[in-house]
Structure 1
Amino acid sequence: MNSGALLVNAAIPLVVWAVAWLTPSLTSPTLPFGVRIPAARADAPVIAEQRKRYRWLVGTAGGVLLALNVGLSTTAHSVWPGVVPALILAVFLAAFHRARVAVAAAKRDEDWYRGLRQGVVTDTSLRTDPEAFPWPWSIPALLIVAATVVTSVVLYPSVPERLAVHFNASGIPDRFATKSVGSAFFPVFVQAGVTATILVLAWFSFRARPELDPARPADSARRHRRFSVRAVISLLVLAACVDLSMLAGAWPIWHADQNLSPVLVMLPILVGLAVVVGVAVRTGQGGSRLPAGSAGAPEENTGVVRRDDDRHWRGAGSLYVNRADPALVVQKRFGFGWTLNFGNPRALLLFALIVGLPLALPLIVR
């Protein structure tokens, strides 16, 4: 295995492990491990203890898996793409679920919401005077797609009759197909589909309902505005990076005498992921790590706490199911970004399109 393949094989699990380790720091202090709690309980000993145990488990198990991955790749030259990231993800989910159960049990047993006034709040200015969608940041992705289309059209007459359509871990082609519009332009179709999907999801997410804090609604609205803009920009940057990786991957398909470079293919994606992770750490989910940004004195606490809505979050707190909520997209309870309301039929349709398009694309092209 060449050094480039080794680098890529080590980099992807490292990114997954880093994101898993950082996850508790990304969400609001009132959502430890996806459990809604009053702000006054954010420093509860059980939360600090579970956060420490979670990081110990993820850090130790992830470190062992990373070392094992590098050792096998360099000595035995054994590579199982996706296996180590999947194992790290499994450790993350198990550790997260364990901490979530412990925090939820303490919340229930000690009745943390007893005597508190729960409520929701909205800021109509977010609808009457919304932030502008950062369309200029989509231009790089669209230009790369356009460049890929032009390149494929220009090169098509000289494309060999036998095209490489799959490469092994070292970048050597090991599967071929007869030249056709479908096989030669398949990277273009995939690139366009991925770009369109990210743009649509970014637009819906940008217009998603804000999660405002009724204790300090004005401050949380300002945080939400900055969070939405920065999060969507990071997604659009990621889209451009993914498109660049696809262009790098398409080049050896169109040139039979060239092998695939794993570094050239994965480096743009890793850069895009680094941008997303950097924005997540800087802003926090929903802008929880951002300052209020008010020029005057801090907003006075209204004494109202966010409504306890844990019953609408299923599994490990990753699935939102609320048929009474008209929202299509809502902010995640952990991690960074948004998720669908699976209790909304329109959200289910959107989910079916997102999942179905990649599955149907090969059949459509064929």
Structure 2
Amino acid sequence: MQQAAAWTLALSVLMVGLSVHLTARIWSERRLFFVDLGRALTDDDRSRAQRVLVVNGAVTALGVALSFLAPGSAAVAGFVSLVLVFVPIGYLLVETVRVARSVDRPKIAARFAVPLEDPPTLGRYLSPALNLAQGALLVGSTAVFLWLLPQLPAKVPMHFDGRGVVTRLGSPREMWLFPGLLAFDWALVLIIAFGVSRERWALAPKDPERYAALQLDRRTTIVRFVEVLLLAVNVGMVVTWLGLAFGSLPGKGHLVATVVVLSVVVMAIGTLAPLAYYLPKLTRLQERLREIAGSDALGTREAGWRAGGLFYYAPDDPALFVPKRIGIGQTLNMARPGAWIFLGGVILVPLVISLVAMWLA
């Protein structure tokens, strides 16, 4: 089990490192860390990106090495998972803020909010196949668990330490946490798609029809990225859930180590593959939109952008979901009560699901 714990930790470190690498990599000649520079990249910009990539690579290599050199050390596992992996993330965030604050970007053009005669409906953004897969995954895995539940012992492993040692046993009914989280992730996809569909339609005075078509492509791509990502996360959770259940059956304990590693592999591939595919595509769409409108954030208030464009706080803007000025996708207007309700729900609902699962036990 110690080797399984080592592989799990190493794969987790590698997943974080590759995610940072994909974010820090230069995808456009006018963007650094997804910040629109308003000009071509300079040698200094490239050097800044290279420093982040080198630090990230070194920290990732160190984390992977420590995972295997001290597989039985809880202290090392804690240091790697709670401290080391956040070093490149923090460095990237600091550099992104520095770039955002140092760039003198053109002001956002006047707002051209328009009521479309036939605006795309929520269903226009969603993939029927991916949503069917989410539903089948939830129903199918729940059916398998219901079949297994009467066969499970009174106590099953519920938590492992950094050495792979079981630190807590619990009732099998606590595993109802998993279908709750599966349903939450599926609901989150629908909520994000709803947010995308509700984003204000702002048209550029130059070539408005092409701009609208590109915006529709951008919004659909954002939703597809989230759909694929959360489906992969849910597949990983199902592997963990049913794998632990099967591994708790008499004579099947040897399956647990394999299941833990397999679930991390599934989640790693399911996270990195969509990032590698959709980030370049979304970057190209952002570039084409900027070429037409002169800004990624058309339809927002210039004064509402704070911290160089990281946050949007505009009390006089009724919009809740707005296009990001830094990064890819959408952000929230933090001046709207709905933004805090949304964030509170994302945090509190999984917590409530966990408490209900423990209460059922």
Q: TM-score, normalised by structure 1?
A: 0.79
Aligned counterpart for 1:132 among listed residues 121, 124, 130: 124
Match for residue 331 of structure 2? 339
- CA spacing shift, 1:358–1:307, aligned 2, 3 Å: closer
Match for residue 295 of structure 1? none
Whole-angstrom CA distance in 1 between matches of 2:33 and 2:100: 5
Identity of aligned residues (%): 19
Aligned counterpart for 1:141 among listed residues 134, 138, 142: 134
2:168 paired with 1:175? yes
- CA spacing shift, 1:129–1:76, aligned 2, 3 Å: closer
Match for residue 27 of structure 2? 25
Q: What letter is aligned with 2:27?
A: S
Whole-angstrom CA distance in 2 between matches of 1:308 and 1:330: 7
Aligned counterpart for 1:11 among listed residues 11, 14, 18: 14
Please give the secondary structure, in 2, of the residue aligned with 1:351. helix
2:57 paired with 1:55? no
Whole-angstrom CA distance in 1 between matches of 2:278 and 2:333: 22
Aligned counterpart for 2:224 among listed residues 227, 230, 233: 233
Q: What letter is aligned with 1:152?
A: F
Shift of residue 89 of structure 1?
Answer: 0.9
Whole-angstrom CA distance in 2 between matches of 1:252 and 1:76: 26
CA contact (8 A) 1:172 1:259 kept: no
Q: TM-score, normalised by structure 2?
A: 0.80
Match for residue 278 of structure 1? 276
- CA spacing shift, 1:197–1:126, aligned 2, 3 Å: farther
**Alignment gaps of 5+ in structure 2:** none
- CA spacing shift, 1:200–1:68, aligned 2, 3 Å: same
Q: What letter is aligned with 2:344?
A: A
CA contact (8 A) 1:318 1:334 kept: yes
2:154 paired with 1:154? no
CA contact (8 A) 1:211 1:331 kept: no
Aligned counterpart for 1:199 among listed residues 190, 205, 213: 190
Matched length:
339
Please give the secondary structure, in 1, of the residue aligned with 2:319. coil
- CA spacing shift, 1:282–1:95, aligned 2, 3 Å: closer
- CA spacing shift, 1:49–1:221, aligned 2, 3 Å: farther
Whole-angstrom CA distance in 2 between matches of 1:211 and 1:278: 29
Match for residue 350 of structure 2? 358
Shift of residue 318 of structure 1?
Answer: 2.3
CA contact (8 A) 1:331 1:338 kept: yes
Whole-angstrom CA distance in 1 between matches of 2:134 and 2:340: 27
Q: What letter is aligned with 1:189?
A: G
Give CA-to-partner distance per residue, 1:259-286, whole Å, 9 cap, x none: 2433311222223323431343332258
Aligned counterpart for 2:68 among listed residues 65, 71, 74: 74
- CA spacing shift, 1:69–1:304, aligned 2, 3 Å: closer
Give CA-to-partner distance per residue, 1:23-77, whole Å, 9 cap, x none: x637x95x7667777xxx433xxx5355324302311211221122122223234
Whole-angstrom CA distance in 2 between matches of 1:50 and 1:310: 27
**Alignment gaps of 5+ in structure 1:** 293-298
- CA spacing shift, 1:248–1:173, aligned 2, 3 Å: farther
